[in-house]
Structure 1
């Protein structure tokens, strides 16, 4: 006889589904409110994020000085001044030439896409559909706009000089205080929270800090190596705009997967326009070789621990961040996803059932006898 549905079990399943749906809806509402509040406070949150990222880069030197007996304030002030000097040198030696050549770089990308369009319209493809032509035009416009905004972000950091100056000053002050008082933050936080939160929140904060620091420092070093090797290859081939392309490669390293593809695409287009198809193919080979060297040698050596994220998750995070907040969203998407993974892993650890350990006599009962 066919089995009949149990009305009691069905009602219980419906009640459980309704309760879970209501709880998920409540979580989504809370996330929406949190994102709305974050957007309203973005003028404060953005300098805070920049200050944290700068602190992750400069903390190892500060920790070294403090381990040698330097007072926290003196070590933080020294590292902050050194950072300002290095940043000023970078602006003087790199950012100014990049700014002067950004228009030429953007025009080169547009011309390269136009050549690809002409090649696709000829044999053997013979593509002449108006819709595809319109897609090429849209791609050209978006590439020019995206490249221009990225170069502008590298040079100015924000859309206006006033906002950029305020952001930079606040971020530097926050970096100084983070370097000076950072180790005292978690003990202070633990004293302010009641009950179990005094243990859970500092533990999650410490793990998040380790993950964020590992990501920023490793990506900065890997991006620097990529920029040096690819820049040398472009310089040897005589490709113009070597310095802007190297800077673009370094900045793009902070957007995993998508950044490397974008920077390599721009370099190949510039080589195609200026040097021809042969050099463009050589540039493509150089970029592929450097990326393989990065993935198989640089990152395993530099990154002491991974982010714990699958490549598909990283790609989706970058896409979502870029669609929601442009370049800033793309830059922050992967660190944010890694921090969410840290919180999720900790919650899963706390909710998982502890493994039962068998007594010695029971665990050895099923073990094979020694020969």
Structure 2
């Protein structure tokens, strides 16, 4: 076989290589600029994107319940959506009311233990040689001076906190309204988007959106399982140590598990404080060790492993996505990072499948790619890249060969 570069000068070969690198570098720069533009759009439209994202997550949890009301109880669509949403709100409120008597019955004991704990700490500080009374007085005076000099900053901080609480309440209300609308009319979105995209792209869009929706539901179920396991282990530890309010704290741990970083920290701090004022330093230390062990198990083993299984993501990808999301958007970013990366991975996998079909080399010899058309038909592509659709073959004569379909990229080029 002859060498195509034979007879060419060395400068020409190097120039071709530089030209190839330049073209691809320019393309990657364009992709990077596009990513920056998307980031700016997300930043300025965050007040709209956040409630929509939260509503989609809540909808993925309540959709099976709404479907149960509609199929089994024959409720109308709007009534099924409203019943599912009200059932969820009622379950949360009912849980709070169920735990209220146990919390109220032990409040006086906790308050008494808290006062005793404070007196114990004061006595220990006074009797020990670690901190002298003069040092305590100096520290208190420094705190007072700091508070006096920072009164303006504190007032601004209170205003900012008040604004954040107001924004959170508005976001929650908007998210609940959107959840009702998504439960009622969400099933119409994929057919509508497929119709807008046209016949060539609509089938692919339908399949990608269906896979993304299934992946999102898997994330929520996995996160609920992880939070439940945390609540069980921490609750067992609290019961064994003899900490009061063990069950309410375990329930709080379950809900706190849905808020990355801060949720676990706040719930753990509350449990340790309750243990400190109720059973003393030894019990508080044991509770702290139990919480740290469970959180390390969750953060480094359980959550990455389960999420990587349910969403087909590597554990390292899950950890890095949470770190990046928390850096860019804080707590909400950490919570939304994993589902966003999972949906992105769904799109990339589908594009890879279609690219393999287009070049006639699926990733495995036995690979078959099934594309849902959203109308009861399915497009199956085997290792010979032969495509068949039940809708298209319905009108063909018996024994007629199926028509071969080009891949996604060739379709986009033709369109």
1:314 to 314, 318, 323: 318
Question: 1:10 — aligned with what?
Answer: 14
| Structure 1 pair 282–34 and aligned structure 2 pair: CA distance change class (3 A) | closer
What SS does structure 1 have at the residue aligned with 2:361? coil
CA separation in 1, counterparts of 2:269 and 2:33? Answer: 41
CA distance change for structure 1 residues 298 and 41 in 2, over 3 Å: closer, same or farther? closer
For 1:160 and 1:259, locate their aligned partners in 2 and report how far apart those are by CA, in whole Å.
16
Checking the alignment, whether the CA contact within 8 Å between 1:271 and 1:280 is kept in structure 2 is no
Hey, what's the Cα distance between the residues in 1 that align with 2:264 and 2:173? 33
Deviation at 1:260, TM superposition (A): 9.7
Q: Does 1:198 align with 2:198?
A: no
2:285 is matched with 280
Q: Structure 2 vs 1, CA of residues 254 and 10 (structure 1 numbering), >3 Å: closer, same or farther?
A: farther
Q: Which runs of 5 or more structure 2 residues have no equivalent in the other structure? A: 1-7, 112-160, 367-415
Return the alpha-carbon distance in structure 2 between the equivalents of residues 260 and 82 of structure 1: 24
Number of aligned residues:
299
CA contact (8 A) 2:77 2:184 kept: yes
SS of the residue 2:75 aligns to = coil
Q: Which residue of 2 aligns with 1:35?
A: 39
Deviation at 1:200, TM superposition (A): 2.0
Contact 1:267 1:283 in 2 (8 A): no
What do the CA deviations read for 1:159-203 (whole angstroms, capped 9, x no partner)? 223x23322221111111111122222111111113532122221
Which residue is 1:84 aligned to? 89
Q: So what's the TM-score if we normalise by structure 2?
A: 0.60
Distance 2:162 2:309 in 1: 30
1:179 aligns with 2:191: no
Against the structure 1 CA distance between its residues 63 and 158, is the aligned structure 2 distance closer, same or farther, given a 3 Å change threshold? farther
Report deviation, 1:272. 8.7
Deviations 1:120-177 (A, max 9, x none): xxxxxxxxxxxxxxxxxxxxxxxxxxxxxxxxxxxx998223x233222211111111
Matches within 5 A, 1:306-345: 306-345=310-349
Specify which of 47, 50, 54 is matched with residue 46 of structure 1. 50
Change (3 A) 1:6 1:294: closer
**Alpha carbons of 1:239 and 1:17: their partners in 2 closer, same or farther (altered >3 Å)?**
farther
**Mapping of 1:56-75 within 5 angstroms?**
56-68=60-72, 69-75=74-80
Larger Rg: 2
Contact 2:235–2:250 (Cα < 8 Å) also in 1? yes
What does 1:115-264 align with in structure 2 at a 5 Å threshold?
159-161=164-166, 163-239=167-243, 242=246, 246=250, 249-251=253-255, 253-254=257-258
Does residue 364 of structure 2 align to residue 354 of structure 1? no
Any conservation in 1 of the 2:233–2:294 contact (CA below 8 Å)?
Answer: no
Point out where structure 1 has 5 or more consecutive residues left out of the alignment.
105-155, 359-371
Stretch moving more, 275-284 or 10-19: 275-284
- Alpha-carbon contact 2:268-2:291 (below 8 Å) kept: no
Does structure 1 retain, via aligned residues, the 8 Å contact 2:58–2:179? yes
Closer/same/farther in 2, CA of residues 308 and 297 from structure 1, 3 Å limit: closer
Q: Is the 8 A contact 1:56 1:217 kept in 2?
A: no
Equivalent position SS for 1:306 = helix
1:348–1:158 distance in 2 versus 1, CA, 3 Å? farther
Alpha-carbon distance in 2 for matches of 1:239, 1:263:
17
Greater mean alpha carbon deviation, residues 234-243 or residues 173-182? 234-243
Q: TM (normalized to structure 1)?
A: 0.66
Shift of 1:81: 1.6
Question: Structure 1 residues 334, 297: CA separation in 2 closer, same or farther (over 3 Å shift)?
Answer: closer
CA gap 1:276/1:36 in 2 versus in 1, 3 angstroms: same
CA RMSD of aligned residues (A): 4.3
Equivalent-residue separation in structure 2 for 1:31 and 1:94 (angstroms)? 47
